[in-house]
Amino acid sequence: MIETAHAKINLSLHVTGQRADGYHLLDSLVMFTSLGDEVHVAPAETLSLSIEGPFARDLDVGEDNLVLRAARSFGLPNGAAITLHKNLPVASGIGGGSADAAATLRALSRLWAVPLPDAETILALGADVPVCMTSELTRMRGIGDALETLGPAPMLDILLVNPNVGVSTAKIFNGLESKSNQPMADDMPDPFDTDNWIGWLAQQRNDLQPPALTTEETINNVLAELTAQHGCMLTRMSGSGATCFALFEGADASETAAMALRRSHPEWWVARTDEAPT
């Protein structure tokens, strides 16, 4: 059995508060792309994990791997041979680890013919894991536990760029000037009214972007280069970085931009994609 762990894009990410236990409160519009990692599961007597693919070397297959933690969260003695094909950069702001955990939960639920773990157990795996359980456009609030699914995302031509630099999520959050910011506006247009919707998105924010730019100025270079591409309608950093995304007018524009960026920055990870199926 195969499950795709779709890349997550935070189209907006507003930090609206911080709880006494340290968890940050968010208001984020999340979409998923057709590009992602793949989780393969097969029957086996014991639980095992192997990792392959272009970013496999960046992950440890030890017991703390989030895929194995997700498998153990069922609380069952069942075995499975799990193979993670790692297509997405690690710790890059597009939910790779969380999406991998969610895909593992979905795959093993099917393989073992058992219900998914409860919501509290899934959230305990990580704040982004619950939202990654679906590929629908979703508004995520609270600490990642308050989810409002909004249906399929509109058809979009998307470019993802990661400069192959690592950033510390904790350091980015600690660099926030304010942790009590305004939530997203509630007057979101119909996402399928694409021009108005992207215009509305442009008025929203990623509150983690300013501290990320201070921490790693290469992200600013990525945003500037994306913004300068013909046909680019919106550019923003996703999550705590360092991956940035750009929404384009069409496939030709995104393809031209991808080729240009690969020529000028061969050290960057550049990937064209579109919306995930639902």
Tell me the whole-structure pTM to 2 decimals: 0.96
Whether 86 sits among the annotated catalytic residues: the reply is no
- Region at 79 (left for phi over 0; alpha for psi -120 to 50; beta for the rest): beta
Is residue 128 among the annotated active site residues?
yes
DSSP E strands in 134-253: the ranges are 138-142, 146-149, 157-162, 232-237, 244-248
116, burial (CB in 10 Å: exposed 0-12, middle 13-18, buried 19+): middle
Q: How far is CA 133 from CA 98, 117, 188, 220, in A?
A: 9, 12, 23, 31
CA separation for the pair 65, 56 (Å, rounded):
12
Q: Is the peptide bond before 185 cis (omega within 30 degrees of 0)?
A: no
Give strand ranges (E) for 69-221. 80-85, 138-142, 146-149, 157-162
Question: Which residue of the set 8, 100, 157, 207 is catalytic?
Answer: 8
Helix (H) or strand (E) run with residue 29 in it = strand 24-43
For 127, the 3-state DSSP assignment is coil
Q: Considering the domain 153-274 in this protein, what is its CATH number? A: 3.30.70.890
Q: Is the dihedral of CA 17, 132, 187, 169 positive or negative?
A: positive
pLDDT, residue 166, reads: 84
pLDDT digits (tens, 9 = 90+) for 174-215: 999 999 999 999 999 999 999 999 999 999 999 999 999 999
pLDDT of 91 reads 84
What is the gyration radius of the CA atoms in the chain, in angstroms? 18
Q: In which residue are the tokens 């509150």 written? A: 207
> Is the distance from CB of 187 to CB of 226 less than 8 angstroms?
no
**Domain 2-146, CATH:** 3.30.230.10
Q: What pLDDT does 237 receive?
A: 98
Q: For the chain, which ranges sit under pLDDT 50?
A: none
Q: What are the residue boundaries of the structural domains of the chain, listed by start?
A: 2-146, 153-274
Mean pLDDT over the full length of the chain = 97
Q: Which DSSP helix (H) or strand (E) runs through 14? A: strand 2-18
The catalytic position among 100, 128, 157, 207 is: 128
Distance CA 127, CA 145 (A): 7
* Nearest 10 degrees: Cα torsion 235, 238, 244, 246: -40
